[in-house]
Amino acid sequence: MANPARRSGLSRFGAALAWAGCVACQAEPSERAELLTEQAAPAGYRALPLAQLAPLASPLSEARAELGRRLFYDKRLSRTGQVACSSCHQQAHAFSDVAFVSSGVEARTGTRNTPALINLAWGVTFFWDGRAASLEEQVTQPIENPLEMDLSLGEALARLASDPVYVSAFNAAFDGGPASVETLQQALASFLRVLVSGTSPYDRHLRGDDADFGPAAQRGEILFNSDQAACSHCHPVGPLTNNGYFSNGTYIAGGDPGRQGITGLTGDLGKFKVPTLRNVALSAPYMHDGSLATLSDVIEQYARGGRGDPTTDPQIIPLSLTDEDKADLLAFLSALTDDRFLNDPRYGP
């Protein structure tokens, strides 16, 4: 059976949508509706078909994900025509950025580190402070943000309406009608939902294959999951995030208030959304402010029990880690790298 990706160029995401084992990679376009009902969960995730993780009002489809990909790489979504989503969210870095804080239009900088974009279909809230309740709500914020892309949504839609390629792609993906704020949001969110990473040595280990998960990574995993280090309390097995908000000891007095800026609650001062650690070896620098340059710096900060601010979560306490323990933790974190995800051409420009 011919691979529709090669034949029509449309089926870029068939395999990501039908994630598990690539069962349906070879499916004909007419079978694509079924691809979306295949089990699609990396090891340890809620095993719902990816399509069912999308809101009912924003159903996932091949055409929408592909249109979202095009938009993600398009610099015309910035006022100056020089910044795309992909300028800050780079595939080789798990869709994060090597800068402490990224540059938007005219090299303007914000105050937060660009997070990696991984397995967001299972996400609950978005941004470091969780201020967006859905990906649809999230995606238009960077376009309008004066420090990022600085383009009004009206102008964004006008630019899309003047490009026949987009006119027909929106038509095909959304059954007619010109692009609207809603369909722009749904297309970008659809692309974000197919960014599924589940083929790291860690995933294979969770499925029982330790060929690439050596003794150091195994010792590191035991330490990571131990009550002593408590890492898995916030970064649980599989997703490596509990989607909650915690102060892990990075906040210092006078810094970014994090979650408190949204809820206004005193108890939320210095709390940030727990990031997944998948592909973390590629997403340096670390933490909401990019203040830690390397994973070794991260491990040292946890070993010290944070930076000493009283907001620090009680689970973050000084750990007596030997040099071997630290090397083992690093080996474990390095086994979370999913080369297929980082190099998958379907996610590329």
In whole angstroms, how far apart are CA 29 and each of 189, 238, 266, 308?
A: 22, 32, 53, 57
Q: Cα angle vertex 279, ends 224, 59, to 5°?
A: 115
- Longest CA pairwise span in the chain (Å): 62
Interacting residues with ligand HEC (CB under 6 A):
72, 77, 83, 85, 87-89, 102, 104, 110, 112, 114-115, 117, 120, 126-129, 138-139, 142-143, 148-149, 188, 192, 224, 229-231, 233-235, 246, 248, 250, 272, 274-275, 277, 280, 283, 286-288, 295, 298, 302, 313, 315-316, 329
Q: Write out the two tokens for 29.
A: 């376009």
| Residue 151 DSSP one-character state | -
Q: Judged by CB, which is closer to ligand HEC: 37, or 315?
A: 315
Q: Smallest distance, Å, CB 223 to ligand HEC?
A: 8
Q: Judged by CB, which is closer to ligand HEC: 63, or 105?
A: 105
Q: Smallest distance, Å, CB 169 to ligand HEC?
A: 16
The region, left, alpha or beta by phi > 0 then psi within -120 to 50, assigned to residue 243 is left
H helices of the chain, where?
Answer: 4-8, 14-17, 32-35, 50-53, 62-72, 85-88, 135-144, 153-161, 164-173, 181-193, 201-206, 215-224, 231-234, 260-263, 295-304, 323-334, 339-343
Q: Smallest distance, Å, CB 29 to ligand HEC?
A: 26
Q: Smallest distance, Å, CB 188 to ligand HEC?
A: 5
282 touches 92 (CB < 8 A): yes
The letter for the amino acid at 342 is L
Q: Cα angle vertex 150, ends 146, 153, to 5°?
A: 125
Q: Cα angle vertex 65, ends 105, 17, to 5°?
A: 135
Q: Judged by CB, which is closer to ligand HEC: 4, or 272?
A: 272
- C-alpha to C-alpha distance for 70 and 169, rounded to whole angstroms: 10
Q: Smallest distance, Å, CB 187 to ligand HEC?
A: 10
Q: 315 in helix, strand or coil? A: coil
Q: Judged by CB, which is closer to ligand HEC: 43, or 187?
A: 187
| Residue 109 DSSP one-character state | B
Q: Smallest distance, Å, CB 155 to ligand HEC?
A: 14
Q: Judged by CB, which is closer to ligand HEC: 204, or 304?
A: 304
User: Which among 104, 166, 115 has a CA at the least distance from the CA of 138?
Assistant: 115
Q: Judged by CB, which is closer to ligand HEC: 32, or 213?
A: 213
Q: Judged by CB, which is closer to ligand HEC: 28, or 297?
A: 297
Q: Smallest distance, Å, CB 161 to ligand HEC?
A: 18
Q: Judged by CB, which is closer to ligand HEC: 25, or 317?
A: 317
Q: Write out the two tokens for 216.
A: 């150091």
> Dihedral of CA 203/208/212/215: which sign?
positive
Q: Smallest distance, Å, CB 244 to ligand HEC?
A: 8
